[in-house]
Structure 1
């Protein structure tokens, strides 16, 4: 019966993997008692749903190594589907009450909206823009190690776009705040973007050229920041050091590969 509705098998917000490390789908009969269901879309004519968990995820994004291991195994199409489902049901789990009056909210429009039963306010899933940037100075890249990261792990600098900012202004501000390095906003170049479900960011990948290389580290934001050569980056992506590169499912990993494929500059 190809028309039967499907339910994404999850343990809270963690995916269950089956044959060939694919996502597991069950039937609506397996939904937890009383759970709200979010409509994810149609697959070969079959409606697909995910159940909203009892609680959202308030833990730091690197606090669940099991989840990162599972995500690394998922095929690209399943990873994208899981990421969208996770962002959506996590938002629902954390928005059961109205931000306007505090009243109970209820699911609407198949799960792409929540309505307040008290004041009638409508609430929608949000996406938070985040700039993630490769900062280059004379052929080297500035990479940072976040607070709580494992020793030796470095990645591109990143930060949320604040109200009233352009992407270019956000890039320049974040780099200056975190490392003291000045980057002219006019040199910011957009490269690519990636949705990131921890909990609901849109990562906006950029490249920018720095005016100086003197680092003044903000230790409330980063544990460390260093300049790395092209050889350093290529060696790290090959898994041989001198630092641990971002995981393959992260946009930072793809930005580093993009940079290595660009002509070297003095």
Structure 2
């Protein structure tokens, strides 16, 4: 089962994160490479990410070590500016990358964007500085250490009588339906989040939640947790502030949509874990 933004090949080289001298030496290694990003969009060529040589005057504090592959250090440069929006065309293009390439981009985008959004200490307000090879920020005023965080999101199908519940948001392309999704809240398990979101958005009560797979989603930094749950009944009460519509669909209808038949509804693109979730349920 291939899931978008997974399968990265870089060794994240944790020892170098605790070795400032080793990190600085890796940055000036003649073989070191820098990921080419323009406004957080990756340069791509023939199914691969584009890498550049690192400038001789590069400053360690301006870079994050993405990892090592076959002895070659790979870096991304910090920008100081947060990412703004995302292009669906760009995300679709990432799916054409060779296995693992999109995973490298996902890690780079998320951590670079995190630095741009967390320049100041949440404890005392002082400006922080990067450390641990770019995988943290430290406050020089109070000593607090800050590290990149991942926001967990449940994405799920409720099933009842051999049918799956799909929803549609107004922002979706015409005809597209997908699995419902929502962020986990503090003090909540994955199973509880699945049940809460399905009830809040569609009025469906569920039980027997089972985990299917997960996917990093770098917009800006989420972990999508795909699940399937059994609905107690098929009555719908749609929260129109969240969904434009919700429908029950059969396995045959899902298989047809996955095969390209959009006569009733279209499915999410293959790089999205919602697509994987539908494929798994249809089998």
Whether these two folds match at TM > 0.5 is yes
1:34 Cα offset (Å): 9.9
Root-mean-square deviation (CA, aligned residues, Å) is 1.9
Aligned length: 254
Equivalent position of 2:272 in the other structure: 250
CA distance in 1, matches of 2:265, 2:128: 46
Which segments of structure 1 move beyond 6 Å, counting only runs of 4 or more? 30-35
Q: Aligned residue for 2:17?
A: none
- In structure 2, distance between residues paired with 1:231 and 1:31: 60
Query: Quick one: which of 225, 240, 250 aligns to 1:204?
Result: 225
Q: Which aligned pairs between 1:1-266 and structure 2 lie closer than 5 A? A: 4-18=31-45, 20-29=46-55, 36-59=62-85, 63-184=86-207, 187-241=208-262, 242-261=264-283
2:61, 2:261 → 1: CA distance? 46
2: CA distance between counterparts of 1:31 and 1:243?
54
CA spacing shift, 1:101–1:208, aligned 2, 3 Å: same
Assess, with a 3 A threshold, how the Cα gap between structure 1 residues 112 and 33 changes in structure 2: closer, same or farther.
Answer: closer
Give the unaligned 5+ runs of structure 1.
262-266
Flag the structure with more relative contact order, 1 or 2, with Cα contacts below 8 A and sequence separation at least 6. Answer: 2
Deviation string, structure 1 residues 208-262 (Cα, Å, up to 9, x no partner)? 110111111111111211111112111111121121211111111111111111x
- Alignment CA distance shift 1:82-1:235 (3 Å): same
Contact 1:137 1:209 in 2 (8 A): yes
Q: Deviations over 1:69-115 (max 9, x none)?
A: 32122122101111111111111111111111221111000011101
Q: Using the TM superposition, give the Cα deviation of residue 201 of structure 1 relative to its aligned residue in structure 2, in angstroms.
A: 0.9
Deviates more, 1:33-42 or 1:71-80: 33-42
Residues 103-162 of structure 1 deviation map (CA, whole Å, 9 limit, x = unaligned)? 111100001110112222110000111111111010111011124222211111111111
Are the counterparts in 2 of residues 3 and 45 from structure 1 also a CA contact under 8 Å? Answer: no
CA contact (8 A) 1:35 1:53 kept: no
Q: Quote the Cα distance in structure 2 between the aligned partners of 1:217 and 1:32.
A: 53
**CA separation in 2, counterparts of 1:75 and 1:215?**
41
